[in-house]
């Protein structure tokens, strides 16, 4: 049933959502340790890759990794994410043109000398060739609010945090199948990309991911991660 909140908003009454029994598999301690170490090693091998092959990727794989991202928790189970998968070459190139135009301005005027200097060590710049070569570009939009069947707005609680968690799960899912990406939050590009892709006004671009296999000549910076004791506190 619907409960009217005001002239613009309405919420679903979820008091009647059935609850079902739940349990998870209990692993022996040794198996838990082994599995945790293996998953850590898999994720520790993840890198941001800016050299992506044109080699085709099965569409079913993309379906499955995004389906996996959709298992993320969300505020009040609103699932406030839209994953737009772009595989059309012309559309990918239009995305590249929009991003490079804005990124050039970012590097030249908006970001500041320190930010540009800090990026030099990873050899990144405003040229984004991988947006043409990657078989897919996945754009993740956060839904500021939802639209109910009756046209009323539905509040999406903690929408940015919820979508960010979903993106993290997507990165893990991509790593699990041997695909690479580089996380991109294109400054000032969101509105133009939203219009290009025909997304509604209540969706805001949060993240853009070119996805594919690494190019044969791909390189990555030899960066080191913080040791556990530098970012974990046990109280």
CATH number of the domain enclosing 184: 3.40.109.10
In this predicted structure, what is the pLDDT of residue 8? 46
* Torsion angle in degrees (nearest 10) through CA of 93, 212, 47, 130: -20
Instruction: Residue 162: name the closest of 85, 78, 83 by CA.
Output: 78
143 falls within a domain: yes
229 falls within a domain: no
In this predicted structure, what is the pLDDT of residue 101? 85
In this predicted structure, what is the pLDDT of residue 120? 60
Mean pLDDT of 200-207: 96
Residue 3 CA to residue 150 CA, distance in Å, equals: 12
* Torsion angle in degrees (nearest 10) through CA of 152, 155, 156, 160: 110
Mean pLDDT of the residues in the chain: 89
Tens digit of pLDDT for each residue in 99-122?
A: 988 877 766 665 556 655 555 655
Q: Map residue 110 onto helix, strand or coil.
A: helix
Which residue range is the domain that position 163 belongs to? 45-215
The 8-class DSSP code of residue 159 comes to H
pTM for the predicted model, two decimal places = 0.87
In this predicted structure, what is the pLDDT of residue 122? 53
pLDDT-based confidence at residue 4 (cuts at 50, 70, 90): very low
226 falls within a domain: no
Query: To which residue do tokens 């939050």 refer?
Result: 185
Work out how many domains the chain is built from and give that number: 1
């Amino acid at each position: 049933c619907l409960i009217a909140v005001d002239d613009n908003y309405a919420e679903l009454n979820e008091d009647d959502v059935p609850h079902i029994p739940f349990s998870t598999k209990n692993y022996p301690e040794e198996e838990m340790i082994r599995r945790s170490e293996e998953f850590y090693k898999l994720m520790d091998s993840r890198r941001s890759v800016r050299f992506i092959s044109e080699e085709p990727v099965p569409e079913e794989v993309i379906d499955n990794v995004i389906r996996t991202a959709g298992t993320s928790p969300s505020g009040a189970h609103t699932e406030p994410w839209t994953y737009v998968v772009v595989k059309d070459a012309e559309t990918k190139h239009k995305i590249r043109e929009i991003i490079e135009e804005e990124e050039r301005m970012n590097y030249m005027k908006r970001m500041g000398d320190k930010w540009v200097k800090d990026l030099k060590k990873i050899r990144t710049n405003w040229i984004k060739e991988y947006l043409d070569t990657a078989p897919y570009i996945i754009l993740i939009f956060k839904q500021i609010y939802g639209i109910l069947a009756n046209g009323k707005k539905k509040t999406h609680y903690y929408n940015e945090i919820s979508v960010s968690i979903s993106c993290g799960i997507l990165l893990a899912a991509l790593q699990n199948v041997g695909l690479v990406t580089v996380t991109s939050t294109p400054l000032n590009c969101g509105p133009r990309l939203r219009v290009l892709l025909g997304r509604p006004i209540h969706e805001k671009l949060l993240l853009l991911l070119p996805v594919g296999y690494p190019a044969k000549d791909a390189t990555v910076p030899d960066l080191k991660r913080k040791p556990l004791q530098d970012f974990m506190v046990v109280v």
